[in-house]
Structure 1
Amino acid sequence: EVLKNALRYREAWNKSLKKSIIDSLTSLAKAGKLECEIEERNDIENLEAVVLSLGHSESGLGEPVGGDLRRDLIKQNGSLVYQQLFNGKVLVLINYPFIEKYGQPQPPKTIAIYRPEELKEPYILRHLETFVTDITNWEDYDDDAPEPNQRIGFKMNFEDAEK
């Protein structure tokens, strides 16, 4: 049964799902005036992906390379990925921006894993909203605001639960 499902899911990806994801992302990005690239990655059969990428840019940071020369550090601006899994299901994740030579990239954020028939345009819209929100928060990082569960004090983290 599970093997039959995997074959059915892979067939759905190839027949319609991949194109549906690309079409939805394209129309939603256009409607939202989001500058991005949508690409297919098909290096390995049945482990394909559709990637909405914000591309890369100069980070505003530079490193000296000798004399008066400086080299700009490149920033990857983040991506929203629909990755076909080995079992034919689809993993949706966010790759956060990162700047080369500036710490380690954050691990990707898994949004969800779907069977092909579950992945509809309203979900793709929600994924895109989550992606834009998360990337905006990354760009506007501020460590002055404490995380809700990181406050210090007696009963601090339990006050909200009691309300």
Structure 2
Amino acid sequence: MPVSETEITNLKRKVDRYKEVLGNTKSYREKWKTELKKHISDQLTALAEAAGLTVEIEERSGIQNLEAIALSLGTEVSGLREPVGNDLLRDLIKQNGNLVYQQLFNGKILVLINPPYIEKYGEPQPPKTLGIYRPEELKDPYFIQHLEQFLSDVTAWEDYDDDLPDTNQRIGFKMNFEN
């Protein structure tokens, strides 16, 4: 089966693109090691201090090139207690949530929020992805935006109630005529 010059050219373009992506992965991983990891940690620390927010900055490095920097609001006793025997109560622990900057397999950075949760009180909510960035795309203004979104989400979790009616559950004559 003969192959046209156009098909070979298209194949070469795909090979070139593949090699470019592999090179980018190496470059992104190197940038994480040499500057980005420290920059993320420094930015989060400075913003938290400026805002008067007590945080822990954790470096997670269990697997090389899948490392993470996490801003955590810590862990504490939730105020809920469960009986564990005759007149004994055990405190349930609350994870206060964290904002994570995680390396992906390709060297890009996944930014996500892990909401708070209390052990044995339902299932933890899944993480909320804020974005995936190439290292050069992760500019300083993003850090404050991510931190603001994180605090908004954590505050909403802490202040949870169901005062707002679910629009799918409303009943009544005027229901279909209201915006």
TM-score, shorter chain, exceeding 0.5: yes
Q: 1:101 aligns with which of 120, 124, 136?
A: 120
Partner of 1:154: 176
Deviations 1:102-146 (A, max 9, x none): 110000000000000011111001000000110000000011113
Partner of 1:75: 94
Question: What is the RMSD computed on CA atoms of the aligned residues?
Answer: 1.3
Match of 1:154, as an amino acid? N
In the superposition, the TM-score normalised over structure 1's length comes to 0.91
Alpha-carbon distance change, 71 to 45 in structure 1, aligned in 2, over 3 angstroms: same
Structure 1 stretches of 5 or more lacking a match? none
Corresponding residue to 2:106 among 87, 96, 117: 87
- Structure 2 stretches lacking a partner, 5+ long: 1-19
- Residue 31 (structure 2) aligns with: 12
Match of 2:141 among 114, 119, 122: 122
**Counterpart residue number, 1:135:** 154
Name which one, 1 or 2, has greater alpha-carbon Rg.
2
Other structure's SS at 1:105 match: coil
- Percent of residue pairs identical: 65
Equivalent of 1:2 in 6, 21, 44: 21
Structure 1 residues 155, 10: closer, same or farther in 2, change over 3 A?
A: farther
User: How many Å separate the matches in 2 of 1:155 and 1:78?
Assistant: 40
Between the two proteins, the alignment pairs up a number of residues equal to 156
**1:57 counterpart (52, 64, 76):** 76
Partner letter of residue 93 of structure 1? L
